[in-house]
Amino acid sequence: MWKPTIDEVERLYEKHVKQLEETHWGKFLALTPDGRYIISDDDVAIFAEAMQQFGEGNFILLRVGERDVDILRQANLSVTSNLYPFVEVEWAVQQFRQQDWAYADTGFEGFLNIPSAFTQMLGNPHGAIRTRMADGSVTISEAYLGTVEIVGIHEPILSRILALGSEFLSGRRILDRYRVTFDRGQQVIVERV
């Protein structure tokens, strides 16, 4: 499994991706250590395609020009969490499935972050993603393709699940699908509209 350093990713970007900025700015790109790549508008679809074409753990997902990636409706249904500011999520990677309380993080542009300790249970990550942290620093995150749903809404969402740090974070790629109300610091209401 390839675990690139930030410097290695920067060198590969300069060598293989930079010339694509004029024609593919903002698109997602899965890049291998030997310079092969695929491009798409959809980061989840390209993640799945890269796993199939390049193999699990053999690529990094980037955004052309920005160098960072993180950034069905039916009847109304809502769930309320009294454990403010957390929402209960059910997440799955392959056969592993678990429910956890995730901090509803409107500053996190991704889907779901799980503690890095889960990589021991989940095995080799499906890929790696260059991630900009809230403090502006950059790191390489291990990533899995899986599903995430808000418990009680029963709407599995195909997701990139990052394994970084020690907290569960539910990000904008999940929360933006719903009407989310942070009610006076007491509860979080999630509504499917």
147 pLDDT more than 80? yes
Q: Which two tokens stand for residue 170?
A: 């539910």
* Mean pLDDT of the 153-158 span: 88
Residues present in the chain in total: 193
| Mean pLDDT, range 3-32, rounded to an integer | 88
Q: Is 29 in the same domain as 96?
A: no
Residues 32-54 have a mean pLDDT of 90
Considering the domain boundaries, does residue 71 fall inside one? Answer: no
| In a domain? residue 35 | yes
Q: Establish if 1 belongs to a structural domain.
A: no
Pairwise pLDDT comparison (148 vs 76), residue with the higher score:
148
Maximum alpha-carbon separation in the chain: 52
Question: 135 or 111: which carries more pLDDT confidence?
Answer: 111
43 and 99 fall within a common domain: no
Answer whether residue 144 is part of any domain.
yes
91 with 134, same domain: the answer is yes
pLDDT at residue 121 tops 50: yes
- Residue 96 belongs to what domain range? 77-192
Specify whether 81 is located in the same domain as 53.
no
CA nearest to 107, candidates 137, 143, 71: 71
Residues 58, 85, single domain; the answer is: no
pLDDT tier at 68 (50, 70, 90 boundaries)? Answer: low
Does 103 reside within a domain?
yes
Residues 82 and 57 placed together within one structural domain of the fold: no
CA R_g for the chain: 17
Specify the CATH number for the domain of residue 85. Answer: 2.40.70.10
- Whether residue 164 is predicted with pLDDT greater than 90 in this model: the reply is yes
Report the number of distinct structural domains present in the chain.
2
pLDDT at 71: 38
132 with 174, same domain? yes
